[in-house]
RNA sequence: GCGUCCUUAGCUCAGUGGUAGAGCGUUACUUUGACAUAGUAAAGGCCGCAGGUUCGAUCCCUGCAGGACGCACCA
């Protein structure tokens, strides 16, 4: 044994050993007798990384936490399944490929056409997938590769079509004309959750509208405005009656305006009066719906003005805006304007396009429509009882059937559900699951397979990527087929993921599993934080503060990276990391290596019966106590404390005190005492290696193979006890 | 507007109703046979501020200040 642990060469070798053993697969564990046939189950799905690129340090944190869970469960003798996969991440992946295509070849997706473009995306996704798999292996993830899934593969497609059909038949999926978030750049809708708001300084204009003054930050939408809205309780405008008509001089000449009284108006904002543009604003749309008002489209789907804009027709809104302002000015309709108004602009988080609300016919999942679960295993919802998706999603968590850790996120979850609106699930992008609906002569057919006969045309839209992700806990286990995996491993034991996708994903899994299975998808949700740099900033390429997990693993070993992501961070809190911290844990790996080296160098098989002293027994009892403590922490998902306790015991007690005190006895003339010292040393080391293994699998596995009598035995399936 | 979190050593962060912890950094000494990616010793903190509860508060409660975030609104 060298004085340094050569992680660079040994890690890959060790991973290959694990893979060859087959122990990542729970069935093989049972077959080879390392797991009991009737063992309890532990199952966890990997939050599938997006095939948009490579893993980042946040993914490394996720992999580490889940690997600790899986390895601990496996060593405790549970039948353990950690199921891997990747996500096609529809919008994100398509956006990435579109941008590459444009940069490298100056082409758009329309130049290639649907089929050829999809080929490109698939090629990109495949490459990205391969990189991700390589990276996962580098980090030591003990997933069962034989069950690997992809959100867009054949089996998952069947699950998606089945889910869609059942929800369609159940009346929960409907097609409707509603206001949606339209991304003119990517030419698709996106859901409310996929928006990001950017602050932007825009002039805010006060325009004369007959006897009123109305405020707007978007003069380019004002052409069709013919309703003027005020709060029914606003005394300033008491003289105007709901429905009253007046003649108003407006941008393209005189119009007839109608007074509308609605409580949506904030009396304190601006003048307390506004005109509405129902086609291009969600609030306005709702007012229009309530009062049954006309809606007129002003801006087309490319961001260009329509004939309603008069002479500005055909012009892009960005170009037209200053000209429109000029015209308002020349007509004397601008009362004043505020130059320093801060406006929130919605952009598509994944694709980057600036959102223009539009009314469009889309597919939605109704969250308030009533239905009954024929067989409910959800606490608080009885079989056959009327409920809604909202109520069902709440019940699963409220009843504590699903526990969210840390608990404070339960509040966030409820709050989100309270504000939830119908979920727009159709996208006009090409990469993704095609909606399983076909049309012919005004007829509509929804089915798992295409309808027979000629002339049917499939809906051209694809599904929101989270629709397929929502099925993940059971689509990966073979659903809708009745598989052994499904009956054995669902609901899964725990879902581990970042708090930033609580709504996107966690909530939608509860929705899907609840409706389709009448059951919860998992018993526990453990949320980790975002990984940030030492100044608490998000890691990004533009800041050049990103730590590449592969690069630092190469430099300091994957074990060191893993430990540095675990120790010193609490559940749900952001994780701060720096290269210094990683280096510190690399030193710990070296410490373990050298202490083990010492033990090996000083060990011979005992020829006499060891005579343990009282102190020896005390030390061995100490290790047992440590094991109890670490087990308790791990059972409570308190990885920070479990790892911390091990770190300190190994270094401060075992290395600094125990080894030092044993040194003279290891050279003792008294054979029984010498044997005792050796036994204590080896036993303590072995127990600690076992406990450290889930945290630092590589170095502990390598040392294990070097210990006496351990040839060909794998630490990863040693009994924890 | 509603809600959540954070404020602890120079930096980054854990933690607990009973005299404060880690990593990195700093200072001094030490190459003695596991390990200098180390060892020994040390410096360094009114645990944001002000009240309250308590025998006792860094921890529980209230208020304030600063920072971060989520949701809603943003005409």
Q: Give the pLDDT of residue A269.
A: 84
Q: Give the pLDDT of residue A639.
A: 92
Are residues A279 and A155 part of one domain?
A: no
Are residues A621 and A516 part of one domain?
A: no
Q: Is A243 left (phi over 0), alpha (psi -120 to 50) or beta?
A: left
In a domain? residue A688: yes
- pLDDT band for position A662 (cuts 50, 70, 90): very high
First to last CA, chain A: 29
CA of A573 to C1' of B51 (A): 30
pLDDT in tens, A435-478: 999 999 999 999 999 999 999 999 999 999 999 999 999 999 99
Positive/negative CA dihedral, A701, A705, A710, A713: positive
In chain A, the number of structural domains is 3
SS3 A445: strand
Are residues A220 and A353 part of one domain?
A: yes
Are residues A243 and A153 part of one domain?
A: no
pTM for the whole structure: 0.94
Q: Give the pLDDT of residue A504.
A: 86
Domain around A588:
578-717
| Centroid of chain to Cα A601 | 48
Q: Give the pLDDT of residue A460.
A: 96
What mean pLDDT, rounded, does chain A reach? 92
pLDDT in tens, A221-251: 999 899 999 999 899 999 999 999 999 999 9
pLDDT in tens, A49-105: 999 878 888 889 999 999 999 999 999 999 999 999 999 998 989 999 999 999 999
CA of A96 to C1' of B73 (A): 32
Q: Give the pLDDT of residue A2.
A: 83
Take residue A361 and report the two structure tokens written for it.
Answer: 């016919």
- pLDDT band for position A541 (cuts 50, 70, 90): low
Percent of chain A with pLDDT strictly greater than 90: 79
In a domain? residue A103: yes
Q: Give the pLDDT of residue A624.
A: 94
In a domain? residue A661: yes
In a domain? residue A290: yes
- pLDDT band for position A506 (cuts 50, 70, 90): very high
In a domain? residue A452: no
In a domain? residue A674: yes
What Å distances lie between residue A211 and A29, A132, A214, A414, CA to CA? Answer: 81, 63, 10, 44
Domain boundary among A326, A361, A396: A361
Domain boundary among A312, A333, A361: A361
Nearest protein residue to the C1' atom of B14, measured from CA: A568
Query: What CATH number is associated with residue A223?
Result: 3.90.740.10
Are residues A111 and A247 part of one domain?
A: no
- Residue A644's nearest nucleotide, by CA–C1', is B22
Nearest protein residue to the C1' atom of B22, measured from CA: A568
In a domain? residue A108: yes
CA of A411 to C1' of B4 (A): 8
CA of A543 to C1' of B63 (A): 39
Are residues A136 and A233 part of one domain?
A: no
What Å distances lie between residue A290 and A108, A179, A233, A285, CA to CA? Answer: 41, 14, 17, 9
Stretch A254-260: mean pLDDT, rounded? 94
pLDDT in tens, A380-406: 999 999 999 999 999 999 999 999 988
Query: What CATH number is associated with residue A639?
Result: 1.10.730.10
Are residues A288 and A250 part of one domain?
A: yes
- Residue A286's nearest nucleotide, by CA–C1', is B75
Query: What CATH number is associated with residue A89?
Result: 3.40.50.620
Q: Which residues contact A89 (CB under 8 A, 6 or more apart)?
A: A50, A51, A52, A350, A465
Nearest protein residue to the C1' atom of B35, measured from CA: A594
Are residues A664 and A591 part of one domain?
A: yes
- What CA dihedral angle connects A591, A593, A596 and A597, to 10 degrees? -110
The pair phi, psi for residue A644, each rounded to 5°, is: -60, -45
Stretch A338-365: mean pLDDT, rounded? 87
Nucleotides of B under 7 A from a protein CB: 2-6, 11-15, 21-25, 34-40, 70-75
Question: Distance between CA atoms of A316 and A668, rounded to whole angstroms?
Answer: 91
Are residues A321 and A199 part of one domain?
A: yes
Higher pLDDT pick, A413 / A531: A413
CA of A584 to C1' of B12 (A): 13
Are residues A274 and A225 part of one domain?
A: yes
Evaluate whether A593 touches A4 at the Cβ level (below 8 Å).
Answer: yes
In a domain? residue A444: no
Are residues A196 and A131 part of one domain?
A: no
Are residues A148 and A33 part of one domain?
A: yes
The pair phi, psi for residue A719, each rounded to 5°, is: -80, 130
pLDDT in tens, A13-46: 999 999 999 999 999 999 999 999 999 999 999 9
């Amino acid at each position: 044994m060298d004085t340094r642990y050569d992680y660079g060469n040994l890690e890959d070798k060790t991973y290959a050993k694990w893979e060859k053993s087959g122990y990542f697969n729970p069935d093989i564990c049972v077959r080879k007798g390392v797991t009991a046939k009737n063992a309890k189950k532990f199952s966890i799905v990997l939050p599938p990384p997006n095939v948009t690129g490579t893993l980042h340090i946040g993914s490394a944190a996720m992999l580490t936490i889940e690997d600790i869970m899986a390895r601990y469960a496996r060593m405790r003798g549970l039948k353990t399944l950690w199921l891997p996969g990747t996500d096609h991440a529809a919008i994100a992946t398509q956006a990435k490929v579109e941008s590459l295509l444009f940069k490298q070849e100056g082409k758009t997706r329309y130049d290639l056409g649907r089929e050829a473009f999809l080929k490109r995306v698939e090629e990109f996704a495949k490459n990205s997938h391969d990189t991700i798999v390589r990276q996962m292996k580098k980090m030591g993830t003990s997933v069962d590769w034989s069950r690997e899934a992809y959100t867009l593969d054949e089996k998952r497609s069947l699950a998606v079509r089945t889910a869609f059909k059942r929800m369609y038949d159940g009346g929960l999926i409907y097609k409707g004309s509603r206001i949606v978030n339209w991304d003119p750049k990517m030419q698709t809708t996106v859901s409310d959750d996929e928006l990001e708001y950017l602050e932007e300084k825009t002039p805010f204009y006060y325009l004369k509208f007959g006897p009123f003054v109305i405020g707007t930050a978007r003069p380019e939408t004002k052409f069709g405005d013919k309703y003027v809205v005020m709060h029914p309780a606003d005394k300033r405008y008491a003289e105007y009656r709901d429905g009253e008509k007046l003649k108003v001089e407006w941008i393209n000449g005189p119009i007839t305006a109608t007074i509308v009284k609605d409580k949506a108006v904030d009396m304190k904002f601006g003048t307390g009066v506004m005109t509405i543009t129902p086609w291009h604003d969600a609030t306005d749309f709702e007012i229009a719906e309530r009062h049954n008002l006309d809606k007129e489209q002003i801006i087309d789907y490319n961001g260009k003005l329509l004939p309603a804009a008069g002479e500005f027709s055909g012009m892009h809104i960005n170009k037209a805006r200053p000209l429109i302002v000029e015209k308002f000015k020349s007509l004397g309709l601008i009362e004043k304007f505020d130059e320093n108004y801060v406006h929130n602009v919605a952009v598509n988080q994944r694709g980057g396009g600036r959102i223009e609300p539009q009314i469009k016919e889309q597919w939605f999942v109704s969250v308030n429509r009533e239905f009954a679960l024929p067989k409910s295993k959800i606490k608080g919802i009885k079989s056959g009882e009327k409920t809604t998706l909202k109520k069902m999603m709440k019940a699963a968590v409220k009843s504590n059937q699903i526990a969210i850790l840390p608990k404070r996120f339960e509040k966030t979850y409820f709050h989100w559900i309270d504000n939830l609106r119908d979920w727009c699930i159709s996208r006009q992008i090409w990469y993704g699951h095609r909606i399983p609906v076909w049309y012919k002569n005004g007829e509509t057919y929804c089915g798992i397979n295409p309808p027979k006969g000629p002339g049917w045309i499939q809906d051209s839209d694809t599904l929101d990527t989270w629709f397929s992700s929502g099925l993940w806990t059971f689509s990966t286990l073979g659903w809708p087929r009745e598989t052994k995996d499904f009956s054995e491993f669902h609901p899964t034991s725990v879902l581990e993921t970042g708090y930033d996708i609580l709504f996107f994903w966690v909530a939608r899994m509860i929705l899907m599993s609840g409706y389709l299975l009448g059951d919860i998808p998992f018993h526990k949700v453990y949320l980790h934080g975002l990984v940030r740099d030492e100044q608490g900033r998000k890691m990004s390429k533009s800041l050049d503060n990103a730590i590449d997990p592969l690069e630092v693993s190469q430099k300091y070993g994957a074990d060191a990276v893993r430990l540095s992501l675990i120790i010193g961070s609490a559940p749900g809190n952001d994780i701060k990391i720096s290269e210094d911290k990683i280096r510190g844990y690399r030193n710990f790996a070296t410490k373990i290596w050298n202490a083990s080296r010492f033990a090996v160098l000083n060990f011979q098989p005992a020829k006499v019966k060891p005579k343990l002293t009282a102190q020896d027994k005390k030390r061995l009892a100490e290790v047992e106590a440590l094991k109890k403590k670490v087990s308790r922490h791990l059972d409570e998902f308190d990885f920070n404390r479990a790892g911390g306790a091990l770190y300190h015991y190994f270094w401060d007690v075992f290395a600094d005190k125990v080894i030092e005190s044993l040194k003279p006895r290891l050279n003792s003339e008294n054979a029984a005492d010498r044997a005792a010292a050796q036994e204590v040393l080896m036993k303590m080391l072995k127990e600690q290696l076992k406990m450290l293994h889930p945290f630092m699998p590589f170095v502990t596995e390598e040392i294990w193979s070097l210990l006496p009598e351990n040839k060909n035995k794998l630490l990863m399936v040693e009994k924890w006890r």
